[in-house]
Amino acid sequence: MTTIPAAHSAVAPRRRITASRTRRRLAPYLFVLPFVALFLAFSVYPLIYTFRLSFTSWRGVGAAEWVGWDNYTYLLTSPQFWASLGNSAVLWLLIIPIQMVVGVITAVLLNSVMLKGRAIYRIAFIVPFVTPLVAVAQIWVVLFDQNYGAINAALGAVGIPPIGWLTTSEWAKPTLALLFLWKTTGFIVIILLSGLQSIDSSLYEAASIDGASRARQLWSITVPLLRRTIMFAVVLQTLAVFQMFAEPFVVTQGGPYGSTTTAGFYLYNHITRADLGTGAANSFLLVILVMALSLLFVRLLRAKD
C-alpha cells in the first residue's frame, strides 16, 4: 500500500482548484477568441489600414506618399462628391417614406387571418428580392426605353408623350428608386411581418370591443407597437441607399450627367481608377455620415420612447 505524504496530499487539491479556476477564467476568452481573431483580421485591420491609406496618395504600387488631409480637403471641396451625396439623399427621400408606408400596409394585409393564400403572397413578395439584379436591370432598361419601352407605349395609349425615364436627369433618379423599391420592399415586408406577429392579438380584440375601426387600430395599436421594427428597417435601408452601387452600375452607369452617381458609385470610381487614397478618404466620410444618420434615428426612437 502506498502512503501519500501529508504535505503533498494537501497541496494537490489546492492546485486542482487553482487550475480549475484558471480554466474557468480563461474559458470565456477562449470561446470569444475565434471571433476576436476574425474580427481583428477582417474588420479592425482593414478599417485601420484604410484610415491610414486615406492620408496617402497610394495607387496600389510603390511607396505610399503621405499627403496629410489632402484627400479629405479635395473631397470636401469637390462638387462631384457633394453631388453624389445629394443624389443619395434624394434617392433616400424617394425610397424610404414610400417603402415604409407600403411595407406596413402590405405586412398588415399579409398578417390578416381573413386573407386566403397568405403563404403564396408572402413568397410572391420575396421573389424580387432573390431575383438577380442584373436580370432585373436588363428588363428595366427594356421596359423604360424612351422610344420602344412598354411603359411609354402604355402611357402613349392615353395620350402622354414619351418620357426619358433613364436618359434624362429629371427622371433617372425616380426610375432607379422604383427599381430599388420593387426589388427590396418584399424584404422589408418580411421584417415588418415578424414585428407584427409579436403584437398581442388581445389588444386588437379589446379595441374591437371598444368600437375602434380597422384604420384606428392600425394607427393607434399597430404603428406605435411596430415603431422599433420600422426604425430598424429605416436604419437598414438608409445604409443600403447610401451604399447603393449595383443598381446605378447596371442600369445607368451613374448617368445621365452623373444624376444617378450615388455616394457608393462615386466611391467605386476612385477605387477602379486605382486612386486608393481618395477612395479610402471617401469611405471614411461615408462611414461618418451613415453613423451620424443611424445615431440620429436611434435618438429619435429613444425620444419617442
Partner 1 sequence: MFSSIRNRSGRGVVIVAALGVAALSLSACGPETVAPEGSADADMLQAPTESAPSGEITIWDRSGDLFEVFEGVIAEFNKKYPDITVNHEAVDIDAKLQNTLITGTDVPDGVFLDDAKISSFTDFLWNLTDVLAPYVDDIAPQKVAVNTSDGSIYGVPFDLDPGLLYYNATALEGAGIDATTIETYDDLLDAARAYKEFKPDAGPIHLEKAPFLAQLQLEMYANQLGTSLGDDEGGIRLDGTEYTEVLTFLDTVSREGLGTRAEYLDPTDIGELENGNQVFYPWAIWFSFAPQQLLPETSGDWRAMQLPAWEAGGARGGAMGGSSFVLPKEGANSELAWLFYEFLMFDEAGYSAVWGPNAVYPDGLNTSIPSYLPAADPTNPLFGPVEALGGQDLWAEATTAGAEIPAAGPIPTWWIGAVDYLGNNMQRMLDGDMTPEDVQTQSTEEIQTNLIDRQ
The reply to whether 145 sits near partner 1 by the rule CB under 8 A is yes
The reply to whether 269 sits near partner 1 by the rule CB under 8 A is yes
Roughly what angle, to the nearest 10 degrees, separates helices 79-111 and 263-272? Answer: 130
Enumerate residues 17-56 that contact partner 1 by CB under 8 A.
36, 40-41, 44-45, 47-49, 52
Pick from 42, 82, 219, 257 the residue near partner 1 by CB under 8 A: 257
From 280, 187, 184, 194, select the one nearest 229 (Cα to Cα). Answer: 194
Task: Name which of 45 and 82 has its Cβ closer to partner 1.
Answer: 45
The reply to whether 256 sits near partner 1 by the rule CB under 8 A is yes
Pick from 54, 55, 58, 241 the residue near partner 1 by CB under 8 A: 58
Query: How many degrees, rounded to 5, is the angle at CA 250 between CA 238 and CA 178?
Result: 50
The reply to whether 64 sits near partner 1 by the rule CB under 8 A is yes
- Residues in Cβ contact with 285 at an 8 Å cutoff, skipping those fewer than 6 apart: 72, 75, 76, 81
The reply to whether 201 sits near partner 1 by the rule CB under 8 A is no
Q: Could you give the dihedral angle defined by the CA atoms of residues 10, 15, 21 and 24, in that order, rounded to the nearest 10 degrees? A: -130
Task: Name which of 31 and 148 has its Cβ closer to partner 1.
Answer: 148
Q: Which of the ranges 199-207, 229-237, 269-277, 280-288 carries the binding residues for partner 1, by CB under 8 A?
A: 269-277
The reply to whether 211 sits near partner 1 by the rule CB under 8 A is no
Q: Where are the alpha helices (H) located in 112-226, listed in sequence order?
A: 118-130, 133-143, 150-157, 169-196, 201-209, 214-217, 223-225
Q: How far apart are CB 268 and partner 1 at their closest, in Å?
A: 11
Q: How far apart are CB 18 and partner 1 at their closest, in Å?
A: 20
Long-range Cβ contacts of 286-290 (<8 Å, 24+ apart): 286/242, 286/243, 289/85, 289/242, 289/263, 290/238, 290/239, 290/242, 290/243
Q: Which of the ranges 59-67, 120-128, 213-221, 292-300 carries the binding residues for partner 1, by CB under 8 A?
A: 59-67
Roughly what angle, to the nearest 10 degrees, separates helices 276-304 and 79-111? Answer: 40
Pick from 253, 288, 298, 300 the residue near partner 1 by CB under 8 A: 253
Q: Which of the ranges 106-114, 145-153, 171-179, 180-188 carries the binding residues for partner 1, by CB under 8 A?
A: 145-153
Q: Which three cell numbers stand for residue 257?
A: 450627367
List phi, psi (to 5°) of 66.
-75, 125
The reply to whether 294 sits near partner 1 by the rule CB under 8 A is no
The reply to whether 272 sits near partner 1 by the rule CB under 8 A is yes
Q: How far apart are CB 241 and partner 1 at their closest, in Å?
A: 22
Query: How many degrees, rounded to 5, is the angle at CA 216 between CA 215 and CA 217?
Result: 90
Total chain residues near partner 1 (CB under 8 A)? 39
Task: Name which of 125 and 266 has its Cβ closer to partner 1.
Answer: 266
The reply to whether 61 sits near partner 1 by the rule CB under 8 A is yes
Given a contact cutoff of 8 angstroms between Cβ atoms, the answer to whether 159 and 270 are in contact is no
Q: Which three cell numbers stand for residue 19?
A: 487550475
Residues at the interface with partner 1 (CB under 8 A): 36, 40-41, 44-45, 47-49, 52, 57-64, 74, 78, 80, 141-142, 145-149, 167, 253, 255-258, 269, 272-275, 278
